[in-house]
Amino acid sequence: MIFTHFFAIISLVTASVALPAAVPGIITVPLDRVDSTSDLKNAGSFAARAANRYISRSVETRSTLPSKLMPRQVASKEEGFASIFRRQKGDDGINTAKNVNITVLQGGALRMRIDVGTPPRPYGVALDSSSADLWLASPDCKTCVGYEPYVASKSSTGKVSDKKFVVAYNEGSLRVDVTGVTDDLIFGGFPIKQQPFAQADKIPKGFQDVPFDGVLGLAFSAHSEQKAPPLLQSLVDQKVIKSASFALHIPAGKKQATMTIGGIDPTKFSGEIDFVPVDNAAGQWGLNIDQIVAQGKAVDVGTKKGILDTGTSVLLGPMEDVRKVFAAIPGSAEMANGTFTVPCNQDNSFALKLGGKDYGLNGVDFLDEIFSVAGPNNANCVAALSGDQKIKSWVIGTPFLQKFYTVWDLSVPRFGLAKKVE
C-alpha cells in the first residue's frame, strides 16, 4: 500500500452471477515480472513493506530466532452481472472490453504501458489501486534517475499548468512534488483526450531505482490530489467505452498478467462472480470484512475495515489483530518488525469472509513469494501476512488478489471475485 487514508465502511451484500457467453473482439496485452537491484532492510516495517511492492528486500530476524531469510522456491445477482456485460457489448460504435497485458514486478506489483502525447511516447507505470493520481517524471527532475521523462514541449497536445501540489504515499512518509499537466494519452489501446495528470519535479528515495516511469492510481477521483477523473471515467465520458470497470487476472508465479478494460473476459474465470459493495466515500476501494478466519475458525479482531491495494506485495493488518491470527496457527512465530513465520509443510489457512462467503489462502498461497526461513530442517516459511502498529485497517494486497479473478466496477461501485482460470 502506497497511500493510506482510512475511513468508515458500509455493510456488504453478496450477489452471485452466472457466467455469460464469451465476448468477441477482446484483445490481450501482457505484463512481465521484473526484478530490481535495490535492497531494503527491515522489510517487515510498514513503510518498507509498502515500498517493497517495487523493490527487492531482505528482512532482519530477531536474535532469538537463529534463522536467516533466503529466496523461497515456489514449493450477484444475475441482473447485476449482466449490467457489466451489457455495457461492454453495444452496437453504437462504442468499444467493447479490451485485454491489456501488464507486467508483474518482483513482489507482486503490476506495471503496464501507457502512451502519452502527440506523437505518443511509451511509459511503464505502476498500477496502484490505493491512490488516484497519475504522474510521470519531469525532464527537470534531478532525483528521477532512470525514469523516462515526460516532456510537454515535445507534444503538440501537451499543456503545463502553474498548479503545483504534492502526491503523498504511506501516510505522508513518501511525498512526490508535482506540477499539473494535461495531454492526450492511450490507455490499454483506448485514446483519451486532454487527460489531467502530473509531472514529478522531485521524488523521494523510496521511488528511486525502480522499474517504472511513474505511478497510475486506480482509485476514485475523491482521492485524487488533482481531483482529476480516473482514466476509466474519462473513457466513459468521452464515449470510448461503456463501462467504467476493469478486471485483473494475475497468474501466481508468472511474469504476465492481464487487465481487461471496460468489462470482463469470461475465458479468465469459471463459475460465478460474487460482488460486494465498495465504500468509496474517501475515494478508495474500501471493503467491510465480515470476519477474519484462521485455520477455519473466526478470529476476534478489533477492526474489520479493509482496503484493496494492487500495489502491496503482502497482506497487512493492525499488529494486535495479526498476532491473534497467528496465535490460531500452530507452529507460527513472530519475527522483527511485524513479520511472522509458519511451518512450511503445514496446511496453513487464512481467509477473509466477504458478503457471507470465505475467500481463503491455503498452503503455499499463504507463504511469502520472495523469502523462506532456513531454520531447523528448513521448516519455517515467511507468511504473506504482516502486522504494523501504525495502521488501523486491513490492507488486501497481491497475495489475495492474485488468488482470484477480480472485477473492479467504479460506476456502482462494487468489487467482484471469481474462481481464476490459470
* Grid-cell match 531447523, residue found: 376
CA 243 to chain centre: 20
Max distance between CA atoms of the chain, in angstroms, equals: 67
User: How far apart (Å, rounded) are the C-alpha atoms in residues 61 and 195?
Assistant: 46
309 annotated active-site:
yes
Numbers of helices and strands, H then E, in the chain: 5, 28
Q: What is the DSSP letter of 20?
A: P
The sign of the dihedral angle between the CA atoms of 29, 30, 36, 42 is positive
Q: What is the DSSP letter of 403?
A: T
User: How far apart (Å, rounded) are the C-alpha atoms in residues 88 and 80?
Assistant: 14
For residue 149, what are the β-bridge partners? 137
Among candidate residues 128, 183, 265, 409, the one labeled active-site is 128
The sign of the dihedral angle between the CA atoms of 405, 315, 35, 70 is negative
Among candidate residues 133, 201, 309, 368, the one labeled active-site is 309
CA 140 to chain centre: 29
Do the beta carbons of residue 279 and residue 258 sit within 8 Å? no
Distant-in-sequence, close-in-space partners of 227: CB < 8 Å, separation ≥ 6: 221
209 annotated active-site:
no
* Grid-cell match 470476519, residue found: 291
Do the beta carbons of residue 124 and residue 136 sit within 8 Å? no
User: How far apart (Å, rounded) are the C-alpha atoms in residues 415 and 285?
Assistant: 8
Query: Alpha helix locations (H) across 278-379?
Result: 319-327
CB count, 10 Å around CB of 93?
A: 6
**Residue 172 class from Cβ within 10 Å (0-12 exposed, 13-18 middle, 19+ buried)?**
exposed
169: Cα within 13 Å, side-chain hemisphere? 32
Nearest to 289 by CA among 355, 350, 361, 360: 355
The sign of the dihedral angle between the CA atoms of 149, 129, 369, 255 is negative
For residue 128, what are the β-bridge partners? 217
Give catalytic residues, as residue numbers: 128, 309
